[in-house]
A and B are shown apart, each in its own frame.
Chain A
Amino acid sequence: MIGGSTGWAELAGLAQAHLLLSGCAVILAVLAGVPLAIAAAHGRRMRGPLLAVVGLMQTIPGLALLALFYPLLLVLGRASGLAIPALGFLPALLALCVYALLPILRNGVAAIDAIDPALREAADGVGMTRRQKLWLVELPLGAPVILAGIRTAAVWTIGTATLATTIGQPSLGDLIFSGLQTEDWQRVLIGCFAAAALALLVDAILAIVESGLKAGSRPRLAAGLAVLLLAVAAAFAPLPRGEAARTGSVIVIGAKNFSEQYILAEAIEQRLRASGYRTARRDNLGSAIAYRALAAGDIAVYVDYSGTLWSNVLGRTDTPPADVMLRRLGRDLAARDGVRLLGALGFENAYTFAMKRGRAQALGIATLDDLARAAPRLRLASDLEFLSRPEWRAVQARYHPVFADQRSYSPTFMYRALADGSADVISAFSSDGRIAAMDLVTIADPRAALPHYDAVLLLSRRAAADAGLVAALRPLVGAIDIDRMRTANWMVDRDVAKRSPAQAARWLLDGKVAGAR
């Protein structure tokens, strides 16, 4: 372990993926950017528009640019009928390549512009063709400035590549994003430092090449290029991963961007590895992207919630009983996308109302009917979006609660308001670890106003056809009750004696906490 939950093997794997992604993006940008720069330097008419367009793309925030490539590739794949992967390496590569283009293009044009007119005249005067002039004069003389642009592009790209995590491409950003979610600051710092170190290293190597070019020093140039080659080799080198020797394809496990999802993805991964499968992870997927990625086969398995699938994927607005919803989902998702709903894990992550146990008992509140009766004497604290959601409107329609006071808070402060007595009731997610940790009770919903959000295991068409995989995951169905999930979430979310999602997953699977810290 380097620190906390981050191991050397994980860091090395992510650093390698990071280097490979940024390296390919920069190489692609050089292959496209240098010829474009040459064309723009010679053809005055295309220069203005070209630099303007590339400059404009540069102003799109990195995260948005990455996200934009996902639907673009989906549409392209559908229109062309080709199997274009819309998630992971390809969209990340394209977005980063677009990003790297500007400095390469700008410096390329400047490099060729800066060439002494006397040398151009000499090149023409000795009878060079345009091509000879380019290769013998313009490129060698412009090389240091062109390379300076490539250096800038490389540093930018390595920094921006941390965002590739959000579209399912592993990078050092995995550490940063998952660390932020689980408030594991050590992990965040390790991710940031590793990305910065990689950028500085590559910059230093390119600086050697650049100074070699400038001084016309062959040995220095050769040394720089040799180290650069070494870095490329490192990006492709197979890492000594324990199970890498086994054959067979890799099962890709998806996860959205919160602790519970990391823990469940870990649990799935541990079960599959125990059955001899090789696995890979696509963490921090956007909620809308995860299901589409599964339907497209970009990921093989992940956990989603029945209410989310019901409204977002099937576009339904009604709230049927849990078992009806699960049955319909199983049927419709299979028919429409070939997705297999293997089963519910045994707990819900739904909107609910929670109170301190003592207070609820004192007031005799067990159901939303009880709560509505007591509401005029109670203060409600909700998270920022609850009061504008359909769940709240449904509760109002069925129970008609009128609270003495209702306020919105960010989640942390909402729990604090409940703890210090400035609120009596909060809106909560039912599997939140704080419910168990703070000894809260959730309020029952006898009129079924709130939709069900059963955690369900979803498999892609291919994964569902793999009997060994199904057998490895089936024991998870019905095996995780709400108390166990809350405890596991709390292990990861709490501030003291924090556990990694992997450790929490191990506890979920076999009840033991191994290797604490």
Chain B
Amino acid sequence: MISFDHVGKHYAGRRVLDDVSLTIERGSFVALVGASGAGKTTLLKTINRLVEIDTGAIAIEGRDIAAQPVAELRRRIGYVFQGIGLFPHMSVAENVALVPRLQGMPREERAARVAELLDLVALPADLAARHPAQLSGGQAQRVGFARALAARPAIMLMDEPFGALDPVTRDELGAAYRALHDVMGLTSLIVTHDMAEALLLADRVIVIGEGRILADQPPRALIHGAGDPRIEAMIAVARRSAARLDALAAGR
């Protein structure tokens, strides 16, 4: 369980997170949506302390994260982002095994773990020896997921992880991750600006605007009346394009 207690963050006097209080249950799949600049990335990064908060407190399983050694905290939390950030001077295997290595896992165990993880993200084992430059965008982000999952984290933070991928790959990878989430019993937070993606993947959608929580509901409830015109507009866009595609397919 992750709990936010009156969390605030300023940048140069500007409020980026404004008194956010929030609880995320263990095993839940939460999507953070909102306009660009709303504060989604900032909120996500406060959890692994890539952003340090100014006021309030964040606790994981009841323990204040500010009191924990930051490197260890981060190694226990998987982090995937749009930039992917695979290290170009390391092979795929070295990238995937990085966190276990930082944690001191012996070399032989790491090799076995790499094979297991590549299998988990549906990559062929012979990719292990390649370097990131030799991968396609989709393969690279699968390796990104494998690296984030390597230390068996309980929590996964994902910041527009599919943002740079083509729509087919994006759909495939989204479904594959959702399956992993369910099988492994993860707590997942995903940032996306795509309302359709959020509604279809998550159990709970939190809409952020100007550093505040505008809505916090399960997808089905959100679709049936969000109460806020800004959110209704976002949902309407997603529904209208779906309806147009239906109409096109029916030949009307």
Docked-complex contact B131 and A216, CB < 8 angstroms? yes
Given known contacts A127-B99, A216-B131, A118 and B72 CB-to-CB distance under 8 angstroms: no
Residue A444 at the B interface, CB < 8 A?
no
Which chain B residues numbered 56 to 93 have a C-beta less than 8 Å away from chain A? 70-75, 79, 81, 83-89
List residues of chain A with CB within 8 A of the CB of B70.
127
Distance of A121 Cα from B80 Cα, bound (Å): 10
Most-contacted residue by chain A among B85, B89, B147 (CB, 10 A): B85
List residues of chain B with CB within 8 A of the CB of A116.
85
Number of B residues near A (Cβ < 8 Å) is 22
Which chain B residues numbered 134 to 180 have a C-beta less than 8 Å away from chain A? 147
What is the chain A residue whose CB lies nearest that of B71? A127
Which chain A residues numbered 90 to 148 have a C-beta less than 8 Å away from chain B? 116, 118-119, 121-129, 132, 136-137, 140-141
What is the chain B residue whose CB lies nearest that of A133? B71
List residues of chain A with CB within 8 A of the CB of B79.
125-126
Docked-complex contact A127 and B87, CB < 8 angstroms? no
Given known contacts A126-B98, A216-B131, A121 and B74 CB-to-CB distance under 8 angstroms: no
Docked-complex contact B71 and A118, CB < 8 angstroms? no
What is the chain B residue whose CB lies nearest that of A130? B71
List residues of chain B with CB within 8 A of the CB of A121.
50, 81, 83, 85
Docked-complex contact A125 and B83, CB < 8 angstroms? no
List residues of chain B with CB within 8 A of the CB of A122.
81, 83-87
List residues of chain B with CB within 8 A of the CB of A124.
50, 74
Residue B102 at the A interface, CB < 8 A?
yes
Distance of A129 Cα from B72 Cα, bound (Å): 9
List residues of chain A with CB within 8 A of the CB of B87.
119, 122-123, 136-137, 141
List residues of chain A with CB within 8 A of the CB of B98.
126
Docked-complex contact B71 and A216, CB < 8 angstroms? no
Docked-complex contact A118 and B85, CB < 8 angstroms? yes
User: B102's contact among A118, A132, A140, by CB below 8 Å, is which?
Assistant: A132
Docked-complex contact B72 and A127, CB < 8 angstroms? yes
In the complex, what's the smallest C-beta–C-beta distance from A90 to chain B, in angstroms?
39
In the complex, what's the smallest C-beta–C-beta distance from A188 to chain B, in angstroms?
47
Residue B192 at the A interface, CB < 8 A?
no
List residues of chain A with CB within 8 A of the CB of B102.
126-128, 132
Most-contacted residue by chain B among A119, A123, A127, A141 (CB, 10 A): A127
Which chain A residues numbered 138 to 190 have a C-beta less than 8 Å away from chain B? 140-141
Docked-complex contact B84 and A125, CB < 8 angstroms? no
Main secondary structure of the interface of B (DSSP, over half): mixed
Residue B48 at the A interface, CB < 8 A?
yes
List residues of chain B with CB within 8 A of the CB of A127.
70-75, 99, 102
Docked-complex contact A140 and B50, CB < 8 angstroms? no
In the complex, what's the smallest C-beta–C-beta distance from A135 to chain B, in angstroms?
12
Given known contacts A121-B83, A132-B102, A216-B131, A126 and B89 CB-to-CB distance under 8 angstroms: no
Docked-complex contact B71 and A129, CB < 8 angstroms? yes
Docked-complex contact B85 and A125, CB < 8 angstroms? yes
In the complex, what's the smallest C-beta–C-beta distance from B52 to chain A, in angstroms?
12
Distance of A216 Cα from B131 Cα, bound (Å): 10
Docked-complex contact B50 and A118, CB < 8 angstroms? no
Docked-complex contact A118 and B84, CB < 8 angstroms? yes
Distance of A140 Cα from B98 Cα, bound (Å): 15
Docked-complex contact B75 and A141, CB < 8 angstroms? no
Docked-complex contact A126 and B147, CB < 8 angstroms? yes
Given known contacts A118-B83, A132-B102, A216-B131, A125 and B88 CB-to-CB distance under 8 angstroms: no
In the complex, what's the smallest C-beta–C-beta distance from A128 to chain B, in angstroms?
7
Which chain B residues numbered 109 to 140 have a C-beta less than 8 Å away from chain A? 131
What is the chain B residue whose CB lies nearest that of A117? B83
Distance of A128 Cα from B99 Cα, bound (Å): 8
Distance of A203 Cα from B40 Cα, bound (Å): 51
Docked-complex contact A119 and B85, CB < 8 angstroms? yes
What is the chain B residue whose CB lies nearest that of A213? B89
List residues of chain B with CB within 8 A of the CB of A136.
87
In the complex, what's the smallest C-beta–C-beta distance from B65 to chain A, in angstroms?
13
Docked-complex contact B131 and A125, CB < 8 angstroms? no
Interface mask (A455-484 → B, CB under 8 Å = 1, otherwise 0): 000000000000000000000000000000
List residues of chain A with CB within 8 A of the CB of B71.
127-129
User: A141's contact among B83, B84, B86, B88, by CB below 8 Å, is which?
Assistant: B88
Distance of A122 Cα from B161 Cα, bound (Å): 13
Which chain B residues numbered 90 to 106 have a C-beta less than 8 Å away from chain A? 98-99, 102
Interface mask (A182-225 → B, CB under 8 Å = 1, otherwise 0): 00000000000000000000000000000000001000000000
Which chain B residues numbered 188 to 204 have a C-beta less than 8 Å away from chain A? none
Most-contacted residue by chain B among A116, A118, A124, A128 (CB, 10 A): A124
Docked-complex contact B81 and A140, CB < 8 angstroms? no
List residues of chain B with CB within 8 A of the CB of A125.
48, 50, 74, 79, 81, 85
Distance of A141 Cα from B86 Cα, bound (Å): 12
Distance of A124 Cα from B85 Cα, bound (Å): 11
What is the chain A residue whose CB lies nearest that of B70? A127
Distance of A124 Cα from B70 Cα, bound (Å): 10
What is the chain A residue whose CB lies nearest that of B133? A216
Chain A to chain B contacts (Cβ below 8 Å), 18 pairs: A116-B85, A118-B84, A121-B81, A121-B85, A122-B84, A123-B87, A124-B50, A125-B50, A125-B81, A125-B85, A126-B98, A126-B102, A127-B70, A127-B74, A127-B75, A128-B71, A129-B71, A137-B87
Assuming A118-B81, A216-B89, what are 17 further A-B pairs, CB within 8 angstroms? Answer: A116-B85, A119-B88, A121-B83, A121-B85, A122-B83, A122-B87, A123-B85, A125-B48, A125-B74, A126-B74, A126-B99, A126-B147, A127-B70, A127-B75, A129-B71, A137-B87, A141-B88
On B, residues with C-beta under 8 Å from A are 48, 50, 70-75, 79, 81, 83-89, 98-99, 102, 131, 147
Sorted from nearest, which 5 A-B pairs have the closest CB atoms? A122-B85, A118-B83, A127-B74, A127-B75, A125-B79
